[in-house]
Copies of this chain bind each other. A is one copy, B any other.
Amino acid sequence: MTCCVLSIGTELTRGEVVDSNAAWLSAELTAIGFEVVGHTAVDDHPARIAAACRRLSDSARVVIATGGLGPTSDDITTAAVAQLLGVPLVRDATSLEHIRRRFDRLNRPMVSLNFKQADFPEGADILPNSVGTAPGFGVRLGECIAYFLPGVPHEMMTMFECHVVPRIRHLAANNRFQRRLHVVGLGESVVAERLTGIEGMFVGTTIGYRVRFPETEVKVLAEDTSHATARALCERAVSEVRARLAPYVYGQDDDTFGGTVGRALRTRGWTLAIAESCTGGLVGHMLTREPGASDFLLLDAVTYANSAKSRILGVDESTIRWHGAVSSEVSAAMVQGARRVSGADIGLSLTGIAGPSGGTDTKPVGTVYLAVATPSGPLEIRHRVFSGDRAQIQTLAAYAGLEAVLEVCTRPGSQSSVANGGELRPI
């Protein structure tokens, strides 16, 4: 079954926003068995929106459109669709009540512009929005069904999963299965080279790649006579992919790197203390984005100033003066201080130069020292020089830090010295 994705918004045609909605929708549609034959983006212009709807409904059986359902004057999708269908806009009482309650809950005034978000082309199939104000809707355009969703990504995703997929799933072939594997530490072209020939070994599979800096995502899509056989084929190919990329695959599907590191710490029963400098809180943020970080994270001391390194972590001022704040000596003192002061089982410290200024000949921008301290075993210090802009260096350093933690957690030899279930030891 063919389908098309339509994205509506002048911010797209002016290039102010990259259209990640179209990619996300296409991947989801492909995964449940649709053949996505095209994307279209148009600006907020009634005639062009209508023309795109008419054209796409001629060439596909399902159209998923996003954007232009907001309250402002440039949000004109609903009116354009009503005009195309030759039907009036009708206000929906249930949607209006939902919008009103949402504003009440947020303690914000509902202005007259918001009333517009409860208007739909007469006869439309209204799709509730559980995470935002604008409901979506579906209409029939000739032989085609078209669904109109908000452009805000998390609203669009929730509405697609909860309200569109159940309505269109029966139209899909449902003879596909897909897994996404998350890779850290290998570039896209190396990953692709290592996976050469997989599609030939497992006929019916397609391998796709996507870079989400600094991760590479490998998508394994299998197509067979049924969903069950496609799934079995996919899992066999996934095993082969994992074997070829080991140990660089940290997880699959909805796993995140922070969540994976958190799980490893929880499995070990270890508590963690972090001392950050150049990464400025990013390591803590990656771990605490996932719920449940309080199971293992005791402290993340972002000691940005040298004085804070000394005062909070007890790093000797003369060590900083003698070796510099970006040095293996200071990273060692930071991690020991973080562990001591928090009583955590293991510690991670990072100190470096994220740039754009601050580099020297011997310590260029991108230089990072990271140290890991475990209950048993010696202190491990790593020296890395990353390249990229400030944000990339911070991200690479944070990943390297979490990689080091993951490594000590999953190392067979290491043992927790904590016999009392993670209780803090006195300092």
Q: Give chain A's interface residues, CB within 8 Å of chain B.
A: 7, 10-20, 22-30, 36-45, 48, 52, 55, 70-74, 105-106, 108-109, 111-114, 131, 133, 152, 154, 180, 187-190, 192-193, 207-211, 213, 219, 221, 271, 273-274, 276, 278-285, 287-289, 291, 293-294, 297-305, 307-308, 311-312, 341-343, 354-357, 387, 389-391, 394, 424, 427
Which residues on the B side are within 8 Å of A113 (C-beta)? 189, 192-193
Other 18 A-B pairs with CB < 8 A, given A7-B39, A16-B210? A12-B23, A13-B36, A14-B26, A17-B23, A18-B18, A38-B43, A44-B208, A70-B189, A70-B211, A74-B207, A111-B190, A273-B308, A281-B300, A294-B304, A299-B301, A299-B308, A308-B342, A311-B341
C-alpha spacing A105/B52, complex, angstroms:
47
> Mostly helix, strand, loop or mixed at chain A's interface?
mixed
Contact across chains for B15 and A312 when beta carbons are under 8 A apart: no
Contact across chains for A48 and B37 when beta carbons are under 8 A apart: yes
Contact across chains for A11 and B307 when beta carbons are under 8 A apart: no
Contact across chains for B37 and A43 when beta carbons are under 8 A apart: yes
**Given B208, B304, B312, which contacts A16 in the complex, CB threshold below 8 Å?**
B208
Beyond A39-B40, A40-B39, whether A305 also contacts B342 by CB under 8 A is yes
Contact across chains for B281 and A304 when beta carbons are under 8 A apart: no
- Most B CB contacts (10 A, CB to CB) among A72, A299, A341, A394 go to A72
Contact across chains for A208 and B11 when beta carbons are under 8 A apart: yes
Which residues on the B side are within 8 Å of A287 (C-beta)? 280
Which residues on the B side are within 8 Å of A42 (C-beta)? 37-38
Which residues on the B side are within 8 Å of A312 (C-beta)? 299, 301, 312, 341-342
The chain B residue sitting closest to A24, CB to CB, is B15
Q: How far is the CB of A212 from chain B (nearest CB, A)?
A: 9
Contact across chains for B189 and A72 when beta carbons are under 8 A apart: yes
